């Protein structure tokens, strides 16, 4: 009898958590739409060169993984870059232009660089918990081209706007798994 009551209570708590997450998502989405509307009517001031952008200071730079970083740290940083960091990791997916060589350092380097280029080439955008470093050597190879600050299409809408619901679903799923494991 107690097990049935415990499961029912657990289900109620889980439902409340899901409703809370959904409410947070809806509030965030509404705030984002209001901000985007305000941004569309506000003229943009461009700094020249952008603060923290080393492309203008010492030539073109890329962000790559440290080959000596631990596999666990690299994997965690790669997961973050392709997830919450909203880096475009499509090229390192199976059959992508940068999938081969299929190793963690190569995939992490591509993702780190994509994030770095999207976020102003600043040193802080190439940290990833100490698993990455800035280089002046172009890491591109074969058909795999690493982006530079000028090669990212700034007229395209930021990809995070379209992946926001996916991020919330992943977060909700992670919280659900953590809850169920406890």
Round to whole Å and give the CA distance between 137 and 14.
Answer: 50
What percentage of the chain carries pLDDT values higher than 90?
45
Confidence band of 163 (pLDDT split at 50, 70, 90): very low
pLDDT of residue 168: 56
- Between CA 119 and CA 132, with CA 115 as vertex, the angle to 5 degrees is 110
Contact (CB, 8 A) for 110 and 146: yes
| Residue 8 scores a pLDDT above 50 | yes
User: Backbone phi, then psi, for 84, in 5-degree steps?
Assistant: -65, -25
pLDDT of residue 74: 96
Confidence band of 147 (pLDDT split at 50, 70, 90): very high
Confidence band of 182 (pLDDT split at 50, 70, 90): low
Which residue(s) pair with 133 in the sheet? 64
How confident is the model over 115-143, as a mean pLDDT?
94
pLDDT of residue 122: 87
Could you please report the per-residue DSSP string of 116-174? HHHTTT-GGGG-GGGTEEEESS---BTTB----TTTS-TTSPPTHHHHHHHHHHHHHHH
**Mean pLDDT rounded to a whole number for the chain:** 74
Contacts of 105 (CB under 8 A, 6+ apart): 65, 67, 69, 74
User: Backbone phi, then psi, for 133, in 5-degree steps?
Assistant: -150, 155
Among candidates 58, 50, 102, which has minimal Cα distance to 78?
102
The per-residue pLDDT for range 66-124, each reduced to its tens digit, is 989 999 999 999 999 999 999 999 999 999 999 999 999 999 999 999 999 999 888 89
| pTM to 2 decimal places | 0.55
Length of the chain: 182
């Amino acid at each position: 009898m107690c097990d049935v009551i415990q499961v029912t209570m657990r289900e109620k708590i889980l439902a409340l958590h899901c409703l809370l997450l959904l409410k947070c998502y809806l509030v965030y989405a509404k705030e984002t739409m209001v901000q985007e509307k305000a941004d569309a009517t506000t003229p943009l001031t461009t700094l020249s060169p952008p603060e923290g952008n080393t492309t203008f200071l010492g030539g073109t730079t890329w962000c790559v993984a440290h080959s000596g970083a631990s596999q666990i740290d690299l994997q965690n940083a790669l997961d973050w870059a392709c997830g919450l960091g909203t880096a475009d990791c499509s090229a390192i997916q199976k059959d992508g232009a940068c999938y081969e060589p299929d190793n963690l350092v190569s995939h992490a380097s591509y993702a780190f660089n994509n994030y770095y280029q999207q976020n102003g080439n600043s040193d802080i955008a190439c940290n990833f918990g100490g698993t990455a470093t800035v280089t002046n050597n172009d890491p591109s190879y074969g058909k795999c081209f690493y982006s530079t600050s000028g090669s990212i299409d700034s007229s395209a809408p930021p990809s995070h706007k379209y992946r926001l619901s996916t991020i919330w679903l992943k977060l909700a799923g992670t919280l659900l798994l953590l809850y169920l494991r406890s």
